[in-house]
Amino acid sequence: MKLTVPVSHPDEVEMLAGNGAGEFFCGFVPGEWLERYGGAFWLNRRGPVAGNLSRWDDVSLLAERSHAFGIPVHVTFNAPYYTPEQQELLLPVIDRLARESGVDAVIVSDVGFLVTLRRVFPDLSVHASSVMAALNPGMVDFLGTLGARRVIFPRSLGLGDIAALCDAAAGRLETEAFVLNEGCVFEEGYCMTTHRSAGALCVQLPGVPHRVLPLGGEDAGSPAGEEGGRARELMGAFKDWVWFQNGCGNSMSSGGIPNGPCGLCALFDLARTGLTSLKISGRGASSYRKLVSLQMVRAILDLVKRGASREDAADKAVALRNTPKFCEARYMCYYREAAT
């Protein structure tokens, strides 16, 4: 099982390769896209600057350095959709990335664009982004039929579903799941909001005026008594959960470990699902955060490979984080069923 690691500059390659990265993924926003769409329509799930490469030379250099370590590079084109005009603009971009820059695969979310890419570039590997929301075996079959090389599972899947979908994909599709850092509260493939200008809606919600409304018709009042207490507690917990999912306010532990969404406790089980790779998110994060995230996953995964039990691996993960109260809250966990 490889570790798929974000990269946003060629200078990060050596450091991340030396710490166990097995694959890289990055974003690229060419000048012609920015000229046409400015910042109003993002080419991928990050803004046009943060976390994206913008120069052809940088992509080529990044790929060259990665290949020197035997590491493939995947470029993400994971906007929820592209209009016909945008697809026409992107086809020559992707062609050039593959032919001249040496990019190994592209990641897409628009199912129609996947079909077109497979038709126009039959030799290009195309990965189905988590934004495509492959939640069931029908979707795995569907993607296999369309000729996708890999399916990236959404973060909301539990370990049992991941294992079952890996079985469904076996022999036809590579598989990838999240292990660290990405913290969307909603199902990303069905979230029609934008972070542009307004920020993430999910992060905003707990802080805006809200109230729980009973739906009992004319006679219904506000939830009172025990139910009223539960409603208040619910909204407090919602605020906590969103904070944890949002990288605990993008904070770090006193030991310099980035806080936030995490699947370290589940590595014992994830290693047995048949996954091709595990994704560490954060193209827009600092080089330091990328490095420490990779080191944490590598450390626990190596422990599992050396024969650690499920409990030992999970205990070590919690100890490594050194934020026991955060871990106890469970709200950072991708795979809560595996949490100690």
Partner 1 sequence: MLPTRHQREAPPRGGAGRGVEVGIAVPFLAAPPPAVVRGEASLDEALRGAVPRDVHDLLAETFLGPRDGAGPSRVYVGSETCERLLPTRKAVRSWAAAASGSRVALSLVLPPLSRDGLAKAEEAVRALEGAEGLEVVAGDWGTVHRLRSLHPGLAIVLGRLTHKMLRDPRLAEYFDSPQAPAPARSALCRSGELAPGFRALMERYGIARREVDPFLQPLAVDEWEGRSEKLSVHFPYLFVTMGRACLLGAMHRKPAGKFVPGAPCRTECRKYAVEFRVPVPGGSGAEKDLLNLGNAYYHPVPPSVAVGILGRVTSSRQVDRIVVTVPPAATDAAASLPAPARIRPWPPAVEERVGR
Region 207-246 residues binding partner 1, contact defined as CB under 8 A = 208-218, 220, 223, 230-231, 234-235, 237-238, 241
Please, what is the minimum distance in Å from the beta carbon of residue 145 to partner 1?
A: 7
Sort strands 23-28 and 52-53 into parallel, antiparallel or unpaired.
parallel
Which one, 64 or 167, has the nearer CB to partner 1?
167
Closest to partner 1 by CB, 131 or 308:
131
The nearer residue to partner 1, 79 or 292, going by C-beta atoms, is 79
Q: How far is CA 126 from the centre of its chain?
A: 17
Our finding on whether 40 is near partner 1 (CB under 8 A) is yes
Q: Which is nearer to partner 1, 84 or 307 (CB)?
A: 84
Beta bridge pairs of residue 106: 75, 126
* Amino acid present at 244: F
Least distance (Å) between residue 86 CB and partner 1: 6
Residues in 70-109 at the binding interface with partner 1, rule: CB under 8 A: 80-87, 109
- Name the one residue in this structure whose structure tokens are 């992107």: 90
Query: Contacts with partner 1 in 58-77 (CB under 8 A)?
Result: none
147: nearest Cα among 176, 170, 124, 131: 124
Cα separation, 152 vs 277, whole angstroms: 9
Q: Per-residue x/- mask for partner 1, residues 146 to 165, rule CB under 8 A?
A: ----------xxx--x--xx
Closest contact distance (angstroms) between CB of 224 and partner 1 is 13
Kindly tell me which of 81 and 288 has the beta carbon lying closer to partner 1. 81
Encoded tokens for 24: 């890289």
Residues 115-134 that bind partner 1 (CB under 8 A): 115-117, 119, 133-134
Q: Return the residue of 9, 14, 31, 36 that touches partner 1, per CB under 8 A.
A: 36
Kindly state whether residue 200 participates in binding partner 1, applying the rule CB under 8 A: no
Min separation Cβ 134 and partner 1, Å: 7
- Residue 74 CB neighbours (<10 A): 22
- Comparison of 15 and 163: residue with beta carbon closer to partner 1: 163
Member of 135, 203, 252, 271 binding partner 1 (CB under 8 A): 135
Comparing CB distances to partner 1, the nearer of 71 and 139 is 139
Minimum CB distance to partner 1 smaller for 198 or for 225: 198
Instruction: Report in angstroms how near the CB of residue 326 gets to partner 1 at its nearest.
Output: 12
Least separation, in Å, of the C-beta of 193 and partner 1?
4
Least separation in angstroms between CB 166 and partner 1: 12
> Is 330 an interacting residue with respect to partner 1 (CB under 8 A)?
yes
Minimum CB separation of residue 323 from partner 1 in Å reads: 16
Q: What CA–CA distance (Å, rounded) separates 310 from 293?
A: 20
Round the CA-based radius of gyration of the chain to a whole number and report it: 21
Query: From the CB of 29, what's the least distance to partner 1, in Å?
Result: 14
Q: Which two tokens stand for residue 134?
A: 């492959």
Query: d(Cα 259, Cα 254) in Å, to the nearest integer?
Result: 10
DSSP secondary structure of 93-124 = HHHHHHHTS---EEEE--HHHHHHHHHH-TTS
3-class SS of residue 127: strand
Judged by CB under 8 A, the residue of 49, 95, 100, 204 near partner 1 is 204
**259: which residues sit within 8 A by CB, 6+ positions away?**
247, 248, 251, 252, 253, 321, 323, 326, 332
| Polymer length in residues for the chain | 340
Distance of CA 163 to the CA centre of its chain: 18
DSSP assignment letter at 27: E
